[in-house]
Amino acid sequence: MNIRKATVGEFGLVRAFYHEMTDWLDTAPYGPGWKKDIYPSPEDISSALENGELWVCEENSKYIASMIVNSRSQEEYALVEWGVDAAQDEVLLIHALGVLPQYHGRGIASEMVRRAITLAKSQNKKAMRLDVLSGNLPAEKLYPKFDFRLVSELDVFYEDTGLARYKLYELAL
């Protein structure tokens, strides 16, 4: 298992990974509501690749997990009373973290989160933040294991889910 930054030339492979994820999520009992080519969109993937923000986990030359880590958040984040007083560039967020179902139960999502936390600390960030679609039980169980604290619940608009209830988490660094 190898976790690394993906390169711009891997756009097609990363997009295919997310297509495989969204196909499976359509049948999953607890999913984040992703829709193929809406979230993550080709533009999201391309931008993350160009900015060195997209990480993949591969095994035997196959992508088995991916995530985007950057400082961009929805505008609704400004409405939240976060525990850590930090400017936008002092925070990293995890987006679009997914692990293919045949690799569940092996701690891969945990390793991806650890990598994101290590990255944030190496960049001297004050906090990590993220949101989870309410009812996405695997994600709701994952982040508290790393001391992410549930800060708020609010309605957030995303292209894939529309206006929906999200749980917002924060990890002080």
| Predicted local distance difference test score (pLDDT) of residue 33 | 84
Mean pLDDT of the region 77-82: 94
63 pLDDT tier (thresholds 50, 70, 90): very high
How far is 90 from 101, CA to CA, in rounded Å? 33
How far is 79 from 164, CA to CA, in rounded Å? 16
| Predicted local distance difference test score (pLDDT) of residue 58 | 97
> Are the C-beta atoms of 68 and 95 separated by less than 8 Å?
yes
Half-sphere exposure of 166 (CA within 13 A, CB side): 20
Question: What pTM value is reported for the model?
Answer: 0.95
Residue 84: count of CB within 10 angstroms of its CB: 17
Q: Please name the fold of domain 2-172.
A: Aminopeptidase (3.40.630)
Report the sign of the C-alpha dihedral through residues 137, 12, 40, 1, in that order.
positive
What would the DSSP string read from start to end of 27-53?
A: T-SS----BTTTBT-HHHHHHHHHTT-
Q: Show the tokens assigned to 2.
A: 């190898």
The sheet that has 162-172: what strands, in order across it? Answer: 2-5, 54-59, 62-70, 91-99, 127-133, 162-172, 149-158
pLDDT at 25 over 80: yes
Tell me whether the omega of the peptide bond preceding residue 40 falls within 30 degrees of 0, making it cis.
Answer: yes
pLDDT at 57 over 80: yes
> Please, what is the average pLDDT of the chain?
95
Give the whole-number percent of the chain exceeding pLDDT 90.
Answer: 86
| Predicted local distance difference test score (pLDDT) of residue 12 | 97
Mean pLDDT of the region 69-87: 95
| Tens-place pLDDT, residues 101-156 | 999 999 999 999 999 999 999 999 999 999 999 999 999 999 999 999 999 999 98
What would the DSSP string read from start to end of 80-144?
A: S--SS---GGGEEEEEEEEE-GGGTTSSHHHHHHHHHHHHHHHTT-SEEEEEEETT-HHHHHHGG
Instruction: Give residue limits of the domains in the chain.
Output: 2-172
| Predicted local distance difference test score (pLDDT) of residue 31 | 76
